[in-house]
Chain A
Amino acid sequence: MPLRLHYNLEKVSMGLVGAIIVAASIGGIVEIAPLFTIDETVAIPADLRPLTPLELAGREIYMREGCYACHSQMIRSLADEIDRYGPYSLAGESAYDHPMLWGSKRTGPDLARVGGKYTDVWQVDHLTEPRSVVPASIMPRYPWLTAPLDTSNLSAELATLAKLGVPYDADKIAHAEADALAQSRPDSDGAADVQKRYGAGVAVRAFDGDPAELTEMDALVAYLQSLGTQTAAAKALMAGAGP
């Protein structure tokens, strides 16, 4: 009987089209739609801060260079991963990430909590020539990151993200370019404003060692040093869970 039905369906092209669309929609709808309604899917931690403009620029360089092809940013809830990389990643931690950079391959280690693990100098040396600090490394070198950073688009980018729900207010958007510069110049006038706008926990340093020029290296290192530091929620959860 069902065979008979199918026999007839095969004669109607639009019938097949309709049936394919229905069959191929159900799974996605059941699995994806609830993710937007269930609150606990993404409990956004109260202390979660968005990236500063400089860190955002660094994130874009991270994407541009395809670092995500070798590095994950998602610590699974498995004992060995927690021991190796730190508290497992929470959904809320990437709530402001458009797109997420969880990754699917660990040719290199997970970077979700790499912020603060190394000094800026180590990061700069490592990115310029990984084998100068880790002789057995197979990571590529990135000597071209000394190029000056283009900040002209940052305000518009913050504004776009704000439309998508990332908490960048008018003040942050208006000062995006200035903040990017100031974050790498601890002695400049704007430096305090960056921390005022993004929180006292934000690092304000000459990340590549040279405050005179704002480079792509500044941005990327600022981003790497921010990873895992945007909220304390995961650490708090692990501490609460006890040993």
Chain B
Amino acid sequence: MRVSLTTNERQVAIGLSFALALMGLIMAAAARHGPMSVHGIMAMALGLGLVFRLGGVLYEDPPASPDRDGHYDDGPTRAGITMALIWGLIGMGVGVWVAALLYWPEATPPWAATSFGRLRPVHTTGVIFGFGGNALIATSFYVLQRTSRTRLADALSPWVVLIGFNLFCAWAVTGYLMGETQSKEYAEAEWYADLWLVLVWIVYFVLYIRTLARRAEPHIYVANWYYMAFILVVAMLHIVNNLALPVSLLGAKSFTIWSGVQDAMIQWWYGHNAVAFFLTSGFLGMLYYFLPVRSGRPIWSYRLSILSFWGITFFYIWVGSHHLHYTALPYWVQTLGMTFSVMLLVPSWASAGNALATLNGAWHKVRDDATLRFMFVAAVFYGLSTFEGSFLAIRPVNSLSHYTDWTIGHVHSGTLGWVAMIIFGAIYSLVPLLYGRETMAWPRAVEWHFWLAVSGTLIYVVSMWNAGITQGLMWRTYNPDGALAYSFLDSVRAMAPFYLLRTIGGALFLTGVVICTLNCRATMRSAGQRQDARDRPLAPQPAE
């Protein structure tokens, strides 16, 4: 591990790890059995592991060199990228498996933990939080330092954020396997895990603000606004949606304090803004940094970036109710949600357009450089999926699409086409820089990955569009005599070819991720000494 901590920091770190182990012990002892005790043991093992790891090097390894403060602190970014890749493999591996189960349900093994309903949230949490979240945290540290020309405010808190966040993900995912869930989509983790995430998030926010306060640039760069909106609003959503009353402090079970229609509205206020501030805002931050850097072109329009930032931050919050068209939610709330969803297209396309216009004059690079092409495709899919989203939010369209696989198609055109592609673009830009190399270890493999990812996404999305529209039409078709034309089962049968195609598309995409991971590993193992000449120089640091 290339952690460079001073002896003092190592001592504090040991103290924190010990506290974590103690907390785990208390949890395990208090709960005695069930998921909460397993989670206590996990925390304890992690804490003790860290104590030993740090204790082993406490006085042995040379303390951090005195010129440490003359370099950016990239250790947490390296670790975060590794975690993102590991979670990507887990999350998407499970994604392909659950996709296969829908085609081939007999394959479900007779163990509860491997049942579709328990694995599906493992997929969503694994990819959104594990893969997406780690990528966001890792790149946010990198971008924050470069655009502020300063080191992170201290050396420990980035590790607290990273390790704490991954413990949350691990708790969440193992909890579902054991049957522990709040059942709220994208917020399934139980109350103590939610509290833990709040703690981690506070550390993250404070670190961000403290680092910004040390910046050597007068202005806060656009990418940081987006990362900041991501941190702030996710905290707000997470806290409100997860307010719950535990049945006992000694067990995992809790009841959300919200009920019925209010719960539905709060859940989708959360749900759609998880899309907005987790899957969009933070990744736009990534785009606004890595796209200009990689293409060597400044962002096309500063005005447009302001407009789209505030448009997205303000409009998105209103749109959650488009998940509840024609339901028991009051009509006026649905209408507001629909209206703002349509208006949201303006700032969304402003962002996408700004990104594409930035590439003007660099198209030859897009042609030659698969890494930049990942970012280009991401911007295109961002434009496509937001257009589709605004369209789906229109009430009559939603009457057809809601509950069908069309939603799943929309989701994955956003997550595979936009989120995952921009992550790959950022990873391929960063990994060589972080490991002192000119290029990735296998530059040709990036090209392979690109085509696997694009074809996988297209197969996935097109098959789900077909599936969804077929389903929606079958459900609402009447015979001339006024009876429904198809039984539900007819629609289930009609899905089989689409589900098979989707599984194939997903498998192609996953193959790309495997290649990416191996490529990154090879690059990390052959790290060089090269200092990146393009890396922005650190501003002279004030003595601490």
Contact = CB atoms under 8 A, between A and B. Distances in A.
Nearest to A144: B112
Interface string A30-52: 11100110100110000000000
Contact of A23 (B111, B179, B181, B313): B313
B120 interface: yes
B118 A66 contact: yes
A238 B321 CA distance: 25
Contact of B117 (A17, A36, A69, A102): A69
A94 B330 contact: no
A236 interface: no
Contacts of A99: 182-184, 255-256, 258-259, 263, 267
A139 B106 CA distance: 9
A41 B330 contact: yes
A21 interface: yes
A14 B212 CA distance: 10
B262 to A, nearest CB: 5
Interface stretch (A83-91, A193-201, A204-212, A222-230): A83-91
A236 to B, nearest CB: 16
Interface string A49-73: 0000000000010011111111010
A10 B302 CA distance: 12
A6 B263 contact: no
Contacts of B337: 31
A41 B327 contact: no
A22 B97 CA distance: 42
Interface stretch (B419-427, B455-463, B485-493): B485-493
Interface in B346-374: none
Contacts, number: 255
Contact of A72 (B180, B403, B408, B476): B403
Contact of B121 (A16, A24, A66): A66
A83 B484 contact: yes
A17 B212 CA distance: 12
Given A99-B259, A107-B102, A137-B105, 9 more contacts: A23-B313, A76-B326, A83-B484, A91-B261, A93-B328, A100-B261, A105-B407, A138-B105, A165-B259
Contacts of B228: 13, 16-17, 20
Interface stretch (B5-13, B51-59, B245-253): B245-253
Q: Which 6 A-B pairs have the closest CB atoms?
A: A66-B117, A27-B317, A27-B318, A76-B326, A91-B328, A94-B260
Interface string B476-514: 101000001000110011010000000000000000000
Interface in B56-108: 101-103, 105-106, 108
Contacts of A60: 253
A160 interface: yes
A35 B314 contact: no
A70 B102 CA distance: 10
Contacts of A63: 181-183
Nearest to B180: A64
Interface in B105-127: 105-106, 108, 110-112, 115-118, 120-121
Interface in A135-172: 136-144, 153, 156-157, 160-161, 163-166
B469 to A, nearest CB: 14
Interface in B39-55: none
B195 interface: no
B168 interface: no
Interface in B265-295: 265-267, 269, 277
Given A24-B232, A27-B340, A153 B247 contact: yes
Interface in B296-312: 303, 306, 310
B261 to A, nearest CB: 4
B387 interface: no
Contacts of B106: 131
A32 B269 contact: yes
Nearest to A95: B260
A104 B407 contact: yes
Interface residues on B, range: 35 or more
Interface string B315-333: 1111111011111111001
B522 interface: no
Given A20-B232, A99-B259, A11 B218 contact: yes
A76 B184 contact: no
A156 B247 contact: yes
Contacts of B451: none
Q: Which bracket fits the contact residues of A?
A: 35 or more
Contacts of B403: 72, 103-106
B233 interface: yes
Contacts of B248: 153, 156
B525 interface: no
A3 interface: yes
5 contacts: A16-B225, A23-B313, A30-B318, A100-B267, A137-B105
B317 A25 contact: yes
A84 B321 contact: no
Nearest to B221: A10
B263 A98 contact: yes
Contact of B247 (A78, A84, A157): A157
Contact of A32 (B229, B266, B475, B478): B266
A134 interface: yes
Contact of A69 (B120, B325, B488): B120
A60 to B, nearest CB: 8
Contacts of A163: 245
B202 interface: no
B213 interface: yes
Contact of B303 (A3, A24, A77, A138): A3
A140 B267 contact: no
Contacts of B101: 140
Contacts of B493: 136
B490 to A, nearest CB: 9
Contacts of B181: 63-64, 66
A230 B432 CA distance: 61
A109 interface: yes
A97 interface: yes
A68 B245 CA distance: 21
Contacts of B412: none
B313 to A, nearest CB: 5
B402 interface: yes
Nearest to B183: A63
A122 interface: no
B372 to A, nearest CB: 27
Contacts of A109: 488
Contacts of B29: none
A70 B117 contact: yes
Contacts of A38: 330
A164 B247 contact: no
A140 B327 contact: no
A100 B260 contact: yes
A138 B212 CA distance: 52
Contact of B220 (A16, A84, A94): A16
A189 to B, nearest CB: 28
Contact of A95 (B259, B320, B330): B259
B484 A137 contact: no
